């Protein structure tokens, strides 16, 4: 029966929602603090954030140096 | 339900119980049958019971959805940008285009970096690796750097071992790994060269063994085309996130095939998803012109990156190494750089002459590459000039 199929689908949905409702959650304040902490800890390694010292940029155009 | 009075003038064998009874016409799936009064009544009550079951299931589903929202809201005690108020603001951003790669004859649709950070694979709407279809929508580099996977309108994901020998025909060594019933929108190798994860317009994701082409696990749950996926960064982690045309982002357990968390706050198709470097959150870019950050442990959206002036969809997103910056390519040809913590835009990058279709930060975080419908790829780097 066509209604049997949708009852099945609804049953799956109910089971899935029960699973999702049972997930363990933490407060946004704690989660946000940890995201921030990760950023701060790794900021110095983030080249796109802090830039590279002039000599070590692999993409920079090679510059010639004239020796006097 | 049965409020008609039947004139019983037929007598014969009931179509259901086959007993000799007075019969009345009944309709089952638009087919006319003749049932005795007992069987007709049983059918009517069964129908009622089924409707009841459907109705009760529907209301259970609604109440569960409501409960889910309630539980999530209880822990929503603060906004991410409030927590980040005391963080030092980022100064002006300067990014320079270091390379403009002009090899494609048509729109660039997808790209991926090799782990050696010096090579890039990109795919476009043409026959660069003699693909049997025009739109190659997905491509990925194998972790070893020795193979690439790509696919698109051919509904398949094929793996090509890489060779720098000009005499070798790459197409000849190709291996078809994945078979979907609709276009392939995204693919990614897992931690090894041996398994590939695919996302498809047929609404499913799937995990395949490269060697045998066997389907290891399939992931059902999206209500429409799946457009993107990203694997969780941890070595031990076995999850991935997918985004689709049903506006949902879903997090999956790769071993069980189960969806463990789902988020539905976008207002249109989700074109791109990318994990935050720590693996505790992921960002999404959507046709609703916003990017959003979802925290997995708080189980909710924690930030929206949008501006009234941005009205075109975001096609591709990626984080910088520390997760502080979110790069997003848009259909208005620009790339916006967002401060992930504060929620503000720190830079807008121009240069492409058509939609930005794909964007990836290099594995070591020193540069990022954007691909566009203007047939080029641009590699940019740069840094902050602190004030």
Instruction: Give the DSSP per-residue string, chain A.
Output: -HHHHHHHHHHHHHHHHHHHHT-----HHHHHHHHHHHHHHHGGG-HHHH---GGG-TTSPP------
What's the rounded Cα separation, in Å, for the pair B329 and B40? 62
Domain for residue B295, yes or no?
yes
What contacts B30, CB < 8 A, 6 or more positions away?
Answer: none
A13, closest residue in chain B (CA to CA): B61
- Domain span at residue B176 reads 90-381
What's the rounded Cα separation, in Å, for the pair A38 and B107? 37
CB atoms within 10 A of CB A35: 27
Instruction: Express each pLDDT in B327-378 by its tens digit.
Output: 999 999 999 999 999 999 999 999 889 999 899 998 888 888 898 888 888 8
Name the residue among A17, A38, A50 with its Cβ closest to that of B384: A50
In B63-82, the residues whose Cβ lies within 8 Å of chain A are 64-65, 67-68, 71-72, 75-80
Residues B102 and B219 in one domain: yes
CB contact under 8 A, B75 and A28: yes
User: Are B171 and B129 a contacting pair, CB within 8 Å?
Assistant: yes
In this prediction, residues A30-59 reach a mean pLDDT of 81
CB contact under 8 A, A59 and B258: no
A49 and chain B in contact, CB less than 8 A: yes
**Pairing state between β B345-349 and B335-339:** antiparallel
Domain for residue B386, yes or no?
no
What's the rounded Cα separation, in Å, for the pair B287 and B269? 5
Domain for residue B345, yes or no?
yes
What contacts B241, CB < 8 A, 6 or more positions away?
Answer: B229, B230, B232, B249, B250, B251, B252, B273, B275, B282
A28/B10: higher pLDDT: A28
Largest interatomic CA distance in chain B:
96
User: Are B343 and B324 a contacting pair, CB within 8 Å?
Assistant: no
Alpha carbon distance, N-terminus to C-terminus of chain B = 77
In this prediction, residues A49-57 reach a mean pLDDT of 64
Residues B162 and B20 in one domain: no
Chain A residues lying within 8 Å of B361, measured CB to CB: 48
Closest CA to A61 of B381, B115, B347: B381
DSSP secondary structure, B198-238, as one string: EEETTS-EEEEETTT--EEEEE---SS-EEEEEE-S-SS--
Token digits of residue B232 = 């969780």
CATH assignment of A2-45?
4.10.260
B2 and chain A in contact, CB less than 8 A: no
Chain A residues lying within 8 Å of B78, measured CB to CB: 27-29, 32
Best A24, A34, A48 residue to mutate vs chain B (most B CBs within 10 Å): A48
Instruction: Express each pLDDT in B175-214 by its tens digit.
Output: 888 899 999 999 999 988 899 999 999 999 999 999 999 9
B295 and chain A in contact, CB less than 8 A: yes
Please tell me the predicted confidence (pLDDT) of residue B6. 53
CB contact under 8 A, B54 and A7: yes
How far off is chain B from A62, nearest CA to CA, in Å? 12
A9 and chain B in contact, CB less than 8 A: no
What contacts B274, CB < 8 A, 6 or more positions away?
Answer: B230, B282, B283, B284, B317, B318, B319
Residues B36 and B95 in one domain: no
Chain B residues lying within 8 Å of A32, measured CB to CB: 78-80, 83-84, 295, 298, 302
CB contact under 8 A, A32 and B83: yes
A63 and chain B in contact, CB less than 8 A: no
CB pairs under 8 A between A and B: 178
CB contact under 8 A, B60 and A14: yes
B127/B212: higher pLDDT: B212
Can you say how many angstroms the Cα of residue B113 is from the centroid of all Cα atoms in its chain? 20
Residues B31 and B166 in one domain: no
In this prediction, residues B210-223 reach a mean pLDDT of 93
Q: Give the ipTM of the model, two decimals please.
A: 0.75
What contacts B307, CB < 8 A, 6 or more positions away?
Answer: B345
A56/B283: higher pLDDT: B283
Collapsing DSSP to helix, strand or coil, B285 comes out as strand
What's the rounded Cα separation, in Å, for the pair A21 and A11? 15
Of the given ranges (B85-99, B196-210, B255-269, B283-297), which has the lowest mean pLDDT? B85-99
Chain A residues lying within 8 Å of B320, measured CB to CB: 46, 48-49
Best A6, A18, A20 residue to mutate vs chain B (most B CBs within 10 Å): A20
Domain for residue B76, yes or no?
no
CB contact under 8 A, A29 and B29: no
Categorize the per-residue pLDDT at B291 as very low, low, confident or very high, splitting at 50, 70 and 90.
very high
**Confidence (pTM):** 0.79
A30, closest residue in chain B (CA to CA): B298
Is the pLDDT confidence value at B298 over 90? yes
Chain A residues lying within 8 Å of B347, measured CB to CB: none
CB atoms within 10 A of CB A52: 16
Can you say how many angstroms the Cα of residue A31 is from the centroid of all Cα atoms in its chain? 13
What's the rounded Cα separation, in Å, for the pair B136 and A66? 48
CATH number reported for the structural domain that contains residue B328 in this entry: 2.130.10.10
Domain for residue B328, yes or no?
yes
DSSP state at residue B354: S
Domain boundaries, chain A: 2-45
Is the pLDDT confidence value at B2 over 70? no
CB contact under 8 A, A36 and B60: no
Could you give the number of structural domains in chain B? 2
Convert B201-220 to b/e letters by CB count within 10 Å (16 or more is b): bbbbbbbbebeeeeebbebe
List Cα–Cα distances, B235 to B139, B191, B218, B232, in angstroms.
22, 7, 21, 8
DSSP state at residue B173: G
Categorize the per-residue pLDDT at A36 as very low, low, confident or very high, splitting at 50, 70 and 90.
very high
Please tell me the predicted confidence (pLDDT) of residue A58. 56
Name the residue among B78, B299, B379 with its Cβ closest to that of A29: B78
B86 and chain A in contact, CB less than 8 A: no
What's the rounded Cα separation, in Å, for the pair B202 and B283? 23
Residues B245 and B328 in one domain: yes
């Amino acid at each position: 029966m066509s209604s049997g199929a949708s009852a099945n689908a609804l049953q799956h949905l109910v089971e899935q929602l029960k699973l999702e409702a049972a997930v363990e959650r933490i407060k946004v304040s704690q989660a946000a603090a940890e995201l921030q902490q990760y950023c701060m800890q790794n900021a110095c390694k983030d080249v796109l954030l802090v830039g590279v010292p002039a000599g070590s940029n692999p993409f920079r155009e090679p510059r010639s140096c004239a020796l006097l | 339900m049965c409020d008609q009075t039947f004139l019983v003038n037929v007598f014969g064998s009931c179509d259901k119980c086959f007993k000799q009874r007075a019969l009345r016409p009944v309709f089952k799936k638009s087919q006319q049958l003749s049932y005795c009064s007992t069987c007709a009544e049983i059918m009517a009550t069964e129908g009622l019971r089924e409707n009841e079951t459907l109705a009760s299931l529907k209301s259970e589903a609604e109440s569960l959805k409501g409960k889910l929202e309630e539980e999530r809201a209880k822990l929503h005690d603060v906004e991410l940008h409030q927590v980040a108020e005391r963080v030092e603001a980022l100064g002006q951003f300067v990014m320079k285009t270091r390379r403009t790669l002009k090899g494609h004859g048509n729109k660039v649709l997808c790209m991926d970096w090799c782990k050696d950070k010096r090579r890039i694979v990109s795919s476009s709407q043409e026959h660069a690796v003699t693909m049997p279809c025009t739109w190659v929508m997905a491509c990925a580099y194998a972790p070893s750097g020795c193979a690439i996977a790509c696919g698109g309108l051919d509904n398949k994901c094929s793996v090509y071992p890489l060779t720098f020998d000009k005499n070798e025909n790459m197409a000849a060594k190709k291996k078809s790994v994945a078979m979907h019933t609709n276009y392939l929108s995204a693919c990614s190798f897992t931690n090894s060269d041996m398994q590939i994860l695919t996302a498809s317009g047929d609404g499913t994701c799937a995990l395949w063994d490269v060697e045998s082409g066997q389907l290891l696990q399939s992931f059902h749950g999206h209500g429409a085309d799946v457009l993107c996926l990203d694997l969780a960064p941890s070595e031990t982690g076995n999850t991935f996130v997918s985004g689709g045309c049903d506006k949902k982002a879903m997090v999956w357990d790769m071993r069980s095939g189960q969806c463990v968390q789902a988020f539905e706050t976008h207002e249109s198709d989700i074109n791109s998803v990318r994990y935050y470097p720590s693996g505790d959150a992921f960002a999404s870019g959507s046709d609703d012109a916003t990017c959003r950050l979802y925290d997995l442990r708080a189980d909710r959206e924690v930030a929206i990156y949008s501006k009234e002036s941005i009205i075109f969809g975001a096609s591709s997103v990626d984080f910088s190494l520390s997760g502080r910056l979110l790069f997003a390519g848009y259909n208005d040809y620009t790339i916006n750089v967002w401060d992930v913590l504060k929620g503000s835009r720190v830079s807008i990058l121009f240069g492409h002459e058509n939609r930005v279709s794909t964007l990836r930060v290099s594995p070591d975080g020193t540069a990022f590459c954007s691909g566009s419908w203007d047939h080029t790829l641009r590699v940019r780097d740069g840094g902050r000039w602190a004030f």
